[in-house]
Amino acid sequence: MTWRKRLFDLFFASLLVVILGPVILYLMWVIWRQQGRPIFYVAKRMKTPTQSFGLWKFRTMSVINKNENKGVSGGDKTGRITPLGAKLRARRLDEFPQLWNILRGDLSFVGPRPPLREYVEQFPDTYAAVLQSRPGVTGLASVVMHGHEEKLLARCKTPEETDALYARICVSRKARLDMIYQRDQSTCYDFSIVFQTIALVFRRR
């Protein structure tokens, strides 16, 4: 990550913490009132091929056994999404806590979405290239693949089916887009992807 990109992240993350601070506190209160604790969900993700970190989100699913909460989200997890969680996900409000990850340096605003360890271990060459870029809250692959990936995985009824489909189709397609972003990355490109992400959120609403 260049110092310009890091400065960009720090400036806008700090600004958003100030602007969105009251909204974040309000959402924490609403989640606590409607769902109880825990308010946050911390997922283990990879920021380099060997280094993991805790990705912070507002909790949007019912609490179950930790060992049953592995893998990416597909149709097998749809039944666990709470009514409030569905609203948070539709507007991507569940990702507001990732401002903390940006300030810590775990994430950038724009980059490849941070993968699970099992996919990094399964596709080491792919992620050795992809994770040369700092993972992001959003990215080119997120913008291009989001709706398609969601529809694909929604058909999966078991964690095993979700994992197999994601590994077979999504990993390689998203990696190609992540490498295009890595090749063409610039501040203007980052702004463009952020605005496209915001537009997608409003279209979904």
Mean pLDDT of 91-97: 95
**What's residue 65's pLDDT?**
61
Tens of pLDDT, residues 25-74: 999 999 999 999 999 999 999 999 999 999 999 999 998 765 556 678 78
Indicate the pairing of strand 108-110 with strand 136-138.
parallel
Number of domains within the chain = 1
Q: pTM for this structure?
A: 0.92
SS in 3 state form for 124-161?
HHHHHHHCCCCCEEECHHHHHHHHHHHHHHHCCCCHHH
Express each pLDDT in 97-155 by its tens digit. 999 999 999 999 999 999 999 999 999 999 999 999 999 999 999 999 988 898 999 99
- Single out the residue of 53, 173, 177, 17 nearest to residue 110, CA to CA: 177
Q: Write out the residue range of the structural domain in which residue 100 sits.
A: 3-204
pLDDT-derived band of residue 78, with 50, 70 and 90 as boundaries?
confident
Q: Read off the pLDDT band of 202 (50, 70, 90).
A: confident
pLDDT of residue 203: 79
Residue 205: what pLDDT?
57
